[in-house]
């Protein structure tokens, strides 16, 4: 039972729980205690040193007459943002109550008509902006994966296909999202001119998602092609002997063997997509974290720098979580990935 729990913790990337679990069960307590200190204690010491240096240096640095916010000021700004979120939720509850009252007073009107007369016009909260960014990067990442994985399989299976596609990879892979953004914005603006700004597929959302797709698909494509090209030739020969056919060979032989490499590429792609998204949202005005940072930069509020730092820390933490999720998925679907991922 203990070994099964440890296996699940390792698969989910929660390896720091393993030493205390073994210590509780009495397994090699001294060794596991040292291991726990190394895994948890040393990073905590580094974090404490960083916070101390940040606190000391922040008090000595002035920017445009303002002191650089330290950990205390950033924490206070985060608390203020949470209180604003609570106030927004209370306002939304009040709006819903007023809307329900209006429905009873005007039963002849449909809900859609009533929503048009009584729209909820509050600005999005910080959590709403986080959700918008996650939704956008997920959309771009999924589209990128749907394009990159089939192309990568084709490139790995066929040298001719790789030679045809490789020039496009080498030319477009280094292109900055800032270069893609005007092109995508013009095309999306022309093709979606009639789409209302408050719809699910708002133009700013589509622009940001497409830019994420264009910048993040290359890592998955390259790693998929490499993984497929490295499949053991003996496996492919067995597939020929068994007459599996092209699709049978791909789904029963190639994909299982190439999964670690494919997920390595997807892991890189989600990281690239998350970095690209922030810049894309700044310029496309998609109401996510990028737009929040840009709005704070344009603001003259006293706590502007502290709020931007909250956003920076949020972006970093979410990026870390997305990376750990990809590692966990890789370990769950690929037996050999436990050795390939640290």
| Each residue's pLDDT tens digit, 73-97 | 999 999 999 998 898 888 888 888 8
Confidence of residue 340 (pLDDT cuts 50, 70, 90): very low
How far apart CA 20 and CA 27 sit, in angstroms, is 10
Please say whether the beta carbons of 244 and 198 come within 8 A: no
For the ranges 105-109, 146-150, 175-179, the maximum mean pLDDT occurs at: 146-150
Q: Are 167 and 181 in contact (CB under 8 A)?
A: no
Three-state SS at 67:
strand
**Two tokens at 220?**
């998955």
Stretch 246-273: mean pLDDT: 88
Q: Tell me how far apart the alpha carbons of residues 119 and 72 are, in angstroms, rounded to a whole number.
A: 38
Among 155, 168, 336, which Cα is nearest to 261's? 336
pLDDT digits (tens, 9 = 90+) for 14-72: 777 777 777 777 777 777 777 777 888 888 899 999 999 998 888 787 776 677 888 99
| Lookup: tokens for 122 | 């509050």
For residues 72-109, one letter each, b for 16 or more C-beta atoms within 10 angstroms of the residue's C-beta and e for the rest, the string is: ebbeebbeebeeeeeebeeeeeeeeeeeeeeeeeeeee
193 has pLDDT over 70:
no
Structure tokens at 19: 């030493």
Give yes or no for a contact between 53 and 276, defined as CB atoms under 8 angstroms apart: no
pLDDT score at 239: 79
pLDDT at 337 over 80: no
**Dist CA 216 CA 141 (whole Å):** 7
pTM for this predicted structure: 0.85
Token code pair at residue 231: 């499949």
Among candidates 116, 118, 88, 85, which has minimal Cα distance to 100? 118
Distances (CA, A) of 235 to 154, 242, 339: 17, 11, 21
DSSP string covering 14-41? -GGGHHHHHHHTTSSHHHHHHHHIIIII
Residues 321 and 241 sit within 8 Å (Cβ to Cβ): no
Supply the pLDDT for residue 198.
61
């Amino acid at each position: 039972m203990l070994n099964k729990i440890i296996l699940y913790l390792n698969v989910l990337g929660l390896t720091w729980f393993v030493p205390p679990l073994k210590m509780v069960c009495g397994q090699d307590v001294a060794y596991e205690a040292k291991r726990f200190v190394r895994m948890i204690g040393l990073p905590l010491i580094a974090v404490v040193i960083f916070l101390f240096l940040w606190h000391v240096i922040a008090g000595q640095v002035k920017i445009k007459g303002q002191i650089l916010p330290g950990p205390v000021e950033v924490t206070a700004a985060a608390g203020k943002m949470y209180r604003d979120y609570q106030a927004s939720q209370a306002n939304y509850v009040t709006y819903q109550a007023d809307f329900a009252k209006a429905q009873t007073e005007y039963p002849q009107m449909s809900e859609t008509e009533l929503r048009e007369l009584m729209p909820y016009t509050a600005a999005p909260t910080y959590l709403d902006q986080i959700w918008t960014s996650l939704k956008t990067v997920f959309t771009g990442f999924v589209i990128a994966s749907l394009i990159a994985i089939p192309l990568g399989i084709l490139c790995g299976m066929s040298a001719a296909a790789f030679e045809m596609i490789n020039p496009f990879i080498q030319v477009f892979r280094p292109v900055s999202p800032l270069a893609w953004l005007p092109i995508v914005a013009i095309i999306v603006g022309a093709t979606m001119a009639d789409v209302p700004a408050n719809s699910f597929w708002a133009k700013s959302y589509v622009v940001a998602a497409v830019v994420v797709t264009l910048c993040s698909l290359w890592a998955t494509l390259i790693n998929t092609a490499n993984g497929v090209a490295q499949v053991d030739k003996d496996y492919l020969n067995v597939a020929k002997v068994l007459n599996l056919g092209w699709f049978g060979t791909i789904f029963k032989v190639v994909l299982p063997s190439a999964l670690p490499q494919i997920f390595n590429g997807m892991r890189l792609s989600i990281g690239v997509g998350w970095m690209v998204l922030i810049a894309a949202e700044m310029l496309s005005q998609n109401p996510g974290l990028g737009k929040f940072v840009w709005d704070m930069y344009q603001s003259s509020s006293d706590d502007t720098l502290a709020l931007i730092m909250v956003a920076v820390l949020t972006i970093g933490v979410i990026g870390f979580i997305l990376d750990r999720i990809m590692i966990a998925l890789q370990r769950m679907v690929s037996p050999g990935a436990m050795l390939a991922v640290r």
